[in-house]
Structure 1
Amino acid sequence: MSNRKKLIKVAKEKFIVFGSKHTTMDEIAELLGISKKTIYACFSSKEELIIESIKELINEFKIDVAPIFNSEKTPLNKVIAIYEVIFEYVAKFKPSFIFGLKKYYPNAYDTYKKETENIVFNDIMVLLNEAKEKGEIRANVDLELFSKLYLNGLESRLFDADNLFDAYPKEVLLEYMIVNNLNSLKPSV
């Protein structure tokens, strides 16, 4: 594994758990047994390292959900299964991870938002449209509006007031935030 890949891997884990602002380049260098100068030989700035860490996190997520897309599940059940994985990922985040990006590293935050929006408005939307075509979702549902209201920006709703993961099990949060909302789209029996 190259120095760059090792740096991204270690930094990603630190940023997620401790937040981007509270993780220093000195800490990352110490963990890897290298100098900070070596880090800056691979990355021009801390924000560049954060951006690459976000991209790596998204790539790992896509690898984890790829089998779901290829499964025999119904489209709606695929969406639920994908959100189960999303909740596994987001449950590892400290709220300061997202807030630190937003406040201190706007380019990294923009990367994070763009990548997560691509997942919702491309990958998830394909499944929702397929579910609509197959009659799993009522024909009159505006899927774009539904996605904007309930699926996009999920982590901000989970962390805004308090860290909801501290108060509720992720299975309960998934049920209330995703499953119940998806069930409301189904045709009346």
Structure 2
Amino acid sequence: MKEDILKTAAELFLTYGFKSVTMDDIANAMGISKKTVYQHFENKNDLVEETTLFMFKLISEGIEDIRKEERNPIDEIFEIKRFLMRNLKDEKSSPQYQLEKYYPKIFKDIKEKQFCVMEDCVACNLERGVKNGLYRDSINVEFISKIYFTCMMALKDKELFPLNNFSMRNLMNNYLEYHLRGICTPKGLQLLDNYIETNHNQ
């Protein structure tokens, strides 16, 4: 039952935001009593914390599965992007903004966990790209790993990128192309151009 509640909470939080969804909403969506929800979670703060950890684990495992496929580094980046978009619902409700504003400690903790996962993922991707001749061997892996994560987080800032003007899908695609064109060798750029031409609707 607890995992079912977490799955429902994650779905509702991503759709409507952390602030908007109540314990009643979650109970109603599941067809159970609010008392049942409180048997597993002391309060909403507890539920939000466990839901973000549940989502983090789900996303981390999905990213790791993609990495195990050992695609070429450029394809891997776009496949991870597609996976994130499927699981984070394009973030139309600005859940990151609401989490940061109303649950700052939870936001800080989950951001640190995300950074560790993404830094390792991006660093390995960069090193493989250099090894395969797709990325320039002069790049600073540590610097790019940190700036990549920072920019990814900035894309979710709705004051910088209001949803009325920027869709998350377009933001992600534009940023990934921007990122890759800055580090690719001519061989990598050819692969990138071919990928974009083949997958321009994704």
Q: For the superposition of Structure 1 and Structure 2, which TM-score range results when normalised by the shorter chain? A: 0.7 to 0.9
Q: Distance in 1 between matches of 2:62 and 2:164?
A: 21
Q: In structure 2, the residue corresponding to 1:184 is in which secondary structure?
A: helix
Query: Post-superposition shift, 1:153?
Result: 5.2
Query: Post-superposition shift, 1:148?
Result: 2.6
Query: Post-superposition shift, 1:164?
Result: 4.4
Q: Distance in 1 between matches of 2:155 and 2:172?
A: 12
- Tell me the TM-score normalised to structure 2 length: 0.77
Q: Distance in 1 between matches of 2:151 and 2:137?
A: 25
Match of 1:74 among 59, 69, 72: 72
In the alignment of these two chains, the number of paired residues is 186
CA pair 153-52 structure 1, distance change in 2 beyond 3 A:
farther
* Percentage of identical aligned residues: 24
Amino acid at match of 2:45: E
Aligned partner of 2:26 in structure 1 is 28
Q: In structure 1, the residue corresponding to 2:148 is in which secondary structure?
A: helix
- Tell me the TM-score normalised to structure 1 length: 0.82
CA pair 112-56 structure 1, distance change in 2 beyond 3 A:
same
- Structure 2 residues not aligned, in runs of 5+: 188-202
Amino acid at match of 1:148: K
Amino acid at match of 2:103: Y
Q: Distance in 2 between matches of 1:151 and 1:182?
A: 14
**Per-residue deviation, residues 117-146 of structure 1 (Å, max 9, x unmatched):** 122111222221222233322222122222
Aligned partner of 2:130 in structure 1 is 132
**What is the CA RMSD across the aligned residues, in angstroms?**
2.5
Q: Distance in 2 between matches of 1:21 and 1:168?
A: 21
Q: Distance in 1 between matches of 2:83 and 2:141?
A: 21
CA pair 123-88 structure 1, distance change in 2 beyond 3 A:
same
Amino acid at match of 1:111: D
- Structure 1 residues not aligned, in runs of 5+: none
**Per-residue deviation, residues 36-77 of structure 1 (Å, max 9, x unmatched):** 232222112212211221222223323433442132521232
